[in-house]
Amino acid sequence: MSAVAFDVGAVRARFAALQGPTAFFDGPGGTQTPDSVIEAIASYLREANANLGGPFVTSVRSDQVVDAAHDAAARFLGASPSEVGFGHNMTTLNFALTRTVGRELSAGDEIVVTRLDHDANVSPWLELAEDLDLVVRFADLHDEDCTLDYADLEAQLSDRTKVVAFPWASNAVGSLTDVRRVADLAHDAGALAWVDAVHYAPHGPINVAAAGVDVLVCSPYKFFGPHLGLFYGRREVLESWRPYKVRPSANEPVGHRFETGTLAHELLAGCTAAVEYIESIGWEPVVAWERELGRRFLDGLPEAYTLHGIPSMEGRTPTFALTHPTRTPEDLADELARRDIAAWPGNYYALEIMERLGLDDGCLRVGIVHYNTGEEVDRLLAALAELA
């Protein structure tokens, strides 16, 4: 019997996608969406489908939808609505934002990234470095538990460091980063703290002011919303940048200057509904339930598998990277799929950590979110034991 008071059945009833036979442990690649998100998207297309700024009813409704999405995103991130913006996805946004900050950089300036990062927070900097003759330095990790090596990070900093880019949580192994600690180190070096919160966002609350970050990027489709990218930029930072944008577009609110072209308004409506869904549950029971399920998984993991990462629920999300001595991650994922269990094989674009650990085939990644059940975890464990 669960020690956590969480009505997972009531939660699952809000998701049509969870009524079938599949047990979804693929959340790190994208979560399922509640029916309220689907309805918000459809409702926009039925009742408000227009571009912005017109005097007619559908355009007025579109203005309201866009404003509501920025308000919801600001609540989700602990920011001001003027400091947030949307784009096609996190990767596209990060390429655009790094290009913008590149206007402030000079040859020889340095960027620090980490070997825990998803490549969407590495390759934009490598490409920028190629174009501007910058230096990209990599902060290492502790290979025994796949956590960030803060001493090595600090050693990479210099008076030429302009940005420290790092993950709030590793999408590959689940390790959490001490965001405030890294942000303080970055600021002490005179650099921007630039955090990828894509993997962390469905697992716990975010407050950008408390975290002390200057830029944050994430993806609503990882926190029960539609396929979008979302960013936060501290107002003083955004005001100092010259965005790539068309001349007639407005300069205020400051965050909106970085939203090029016409956004997918229907997806913004879905993002608002996703934030409202999370607010209707609250983070405290979500975190507690995920920790309980994570402990259940770790306690029952067959000995044949190697867990790459922290062996407890302390300092991590419930995302687990596994390898088997004789079966490839792809083979394991295929066999699980035949049993109606969804899990990802490969490197999940976390190239650096896989190369650092010598895992050419990557891992089998099992990701738990709050709509998973204890019975699903037991079913996964039984399947892994059978395949072992």
From CA 239, how far away is CA 354, in angstroms rounded? 38
pLDDT of 336 above 70: yes
Q: What is the pLDDT of residue 5?
A: 82
CATH value of 40-278 in 3.40.50.300, 3.30.565.10, 1.10.150.120, 3.40.640.10? 3.40.640.10
Q: What is the mean pLDDT of the chain?
A: 97
Q: What is the pLDDT of residue 177?
A: 98
Q: Residue length, the chain?
A: 388
pLDDT of 251 above 90: no
From CA 66, how far away is CA 54, in angstroms rounded? 14
From CA 279, how far away is CA 352, in angstroms rounded? 35
SS3 label, residue 381: helix
From CA 71, how far away is CA 204, in angstroms rounded? 19
Q: How far is CA 173 from the centre of its chain?
A: 13
Range of weakest confidence among 130-144, 193-207, 251-265, 322-336: 251-265
Classify burial at 146, counting beta carbons within 10 Å of its beta carbon; exposed 0-12, middle 13-18, buried 19 or more: buried
Mean pLDDT of 207-216: 98
Evaluated on CA atoms 228, 229, 233, 238, the torsion sign reads: negative
Sequence-ordered strand ranges (E) for the chain:
23-24, 84-87, 110-114, 135-139, 141-142, 147-148, 161-167, 192-196, 215-218, 229-233, 306-308, 319-323, 341-342, 344-346, 363-367
pLDDT of 3 above 70: no
Q: What is the pLDDT of residue 253?
A: 87
Q: What is the pLDDT of residue 1?
A: 45
CA proximity to 270, closest of 44, 11, 24, 16? 44
User: β-pairing, 215-218 with 319-323?
Assistant: unpaired
Domain positions in the chain are: 8-25+282-387, 40-278
Tokens of 24: 């979804």
- Residue environment code for 11-36, b if the CB has 16+ CB neighbours within 10 A, otherwise e: bbebbeebeeebbbbbbbbbbbbbeb
Classify burial at 294, counting beta carbons within 10 Å of its beta carbon; exposed 0-12, middle 13-18, buried 19 or more: buried
Q: What is the pLDDT of residue 2?
A: 61
Lookup result for tokens 């891992």 = 363
CA proximity to 288, closest of 10, 5, 1? 5
Mean pLDDT of 193-211: 98
pLDDT of 346 above 80: yes
Mean pLDDT of 347-353: 96
Q: What is the pLDDT of residue 250?
A: 83
Report in angstroms the alpha-carbon separations of 191 from 60, 67, 208, 214, 295: 41, 31, 16, 9, 38
What's the pLDDT tens digit per position in 163-189? 999 999 999 999 999 999 999 999 999
Class (C level, CATH) for 8-25+282-387? alpha beta
pLDDT-based confidence at 345, cuts 50/70/90? very high
| pLDDT more than 90, % of the chain | 96
Mean pLDDT of 255-272: 95
Backbone angles phi, psi at 79, to 5 degrees: -125, 180
What's the pLDDT tens digit per position in 285-334? 999 999 999 999 999 999 999 999 999 999 999 999 999 999 999 999 99
Q: What is the pLDDT of residue 197?
A: 98
Tokens of 207: 């407050």
Mean pLDDT of 100-121: 97
What's the pLDDT tens digit per position in 54-65? 999 999 999 999
Among left, alpha and beta (phi > 0; psi -120 to 50; other), residue 227 is beta
Q: Which residue(s) pair with 345 in the sheet?
A: 364
